Amino acid sequence: MSVYDVAIVGGGPAGLTAALWLGRYLHSVVLVDSGDPRNWQTRGINGYLGLPGVTPAVLRGAGRDDARKWGAELVDGCVDLVVRDGEHFRVSLESGRLIESRRLLLAYGVKDIWPDIPGLEHCYGETAYHCPDCDGHQTRGKKTAVVGVGRKAVGLALDLATWTRELVVCTNGHDPGLTAPLLARLDALNIPVLVSRVRRMVNTDGRLTALELEDGMQLDCDLLFFSIGHYPADDLAQRLGCERNDEGCIVVDDRFETTVADVYAAGDITPGTQIALAAAAGGAKAAVAIHHSLLSPELRLV
């Protein structure tokens, strides 16, 4: 079995960009992709330079073509286990295939926790979102509901106030968990808090028109944003012993290397802004760092 220079787990913007750059550096690269990206239901990716509104499927397809062009091998499948064997990593796939590599890049991203609201699946990506950085611009002057509790909900509402002041926080039947200082921040912007559970999202072809609450109220609403939380899409980092922060994101240094030697991470699974363009940039930076780590001594200027 040949040993790859780099094995990448995850085929989103971070993983595919890293594969492209590593291929340009003439490294042998294999990328394993489960085919279940975080933003698959999003209608369009905003703010990606030169590709306004590009859909996740189109971006992923173009990225896969580019990665192959530069020599990366793409494998559709799921990683079952990764273990270190001396100087190499042994990556076992659920299919039974075994891959061996000198470096490992984790780019499998995160999954979002959705609120329990009937009809959300029909509106998500069209008039319901989770990321204010990516989609907050859509709220300009529109009636927007923020679903969540505590500091997360207040933070999301304040973020969206950049574009609209027609905001209301809905806790969907949960305890608001709001301290006096947090309530003061909402009061300063005249943002009310509704605690009744959302019975359903009223929509027409994915266009949200109202939230029907269990207390009988029907809240006129154009858009909905939620902030419940997210979790790693895989537990490989934990099993490898990589340090993670309180949100489960993998801690990396300025070279995108984790606390485990020769294991790197990029994309939404690392701390920081979770937008596609940042994930791609992280993948490129990680690839540059991995390349330098693989250079023979005679090619390094100490």
Domains and CATH numbers, the chain: 3-112+230-299 (3.50.50.60), 120-226 (3.50.50.60)
Helix H or strand E encompassing 211? strand 207-213
What is the per-residue pLDDT across 189-204, written as a single tens digit (0 to 9) for each?
A: 999 999 999 999 999 9
Residue numbers of the chain with a pLDDT score lower than 70 = 1
d(CA 198, CA 7) in angstroms, rounded, equals: 44
For residue 110, give the nearest of 242, 271, 258, 292 by alpha carbon.
271
Predicted local confidence at residue 187, as pLDDT: 97
Predicted local confidence at residue 40, as pLDDT: 72
Sheet holding 128-129, edge to edge: 128-129, 223-226, 144-147, 167-170, 193-194
What is the per-residue pLDDT across 272-299, written as a single tens digit (0 to 9) for each?
A: 989 999 999 999 999 999 999 999 988 8
Predicted local confidence at residue 1, as pLDDT: 59
Predicted local confidence at residue 133, as pLDDT: 93
CA distances from 155 to 151, 186, 246, 251 (A): 6, 10, 18, 23
Amino acid at 302: V
Predicted local confidence at residue 38, as pLDDT: 75
d(CA 45, CA 173) in angstroms, rounded, equals: 31
Phi, psi of 17 (to 5 degrees): -65, -40
Q: Token pair 């992923």 is at which residue?
A: 60
Predicted local confidence at residue 185, as pLDDT: 97
What is the per-residue pLDDT across 126-170, written as a single tens digit (0 to 9) for each?
A: 999 999 999 999 999 999 999 999 999 999 999 999 999 999 999
For residue 116, give the nearest of 216, 214, 222 by alpha carbon.
214
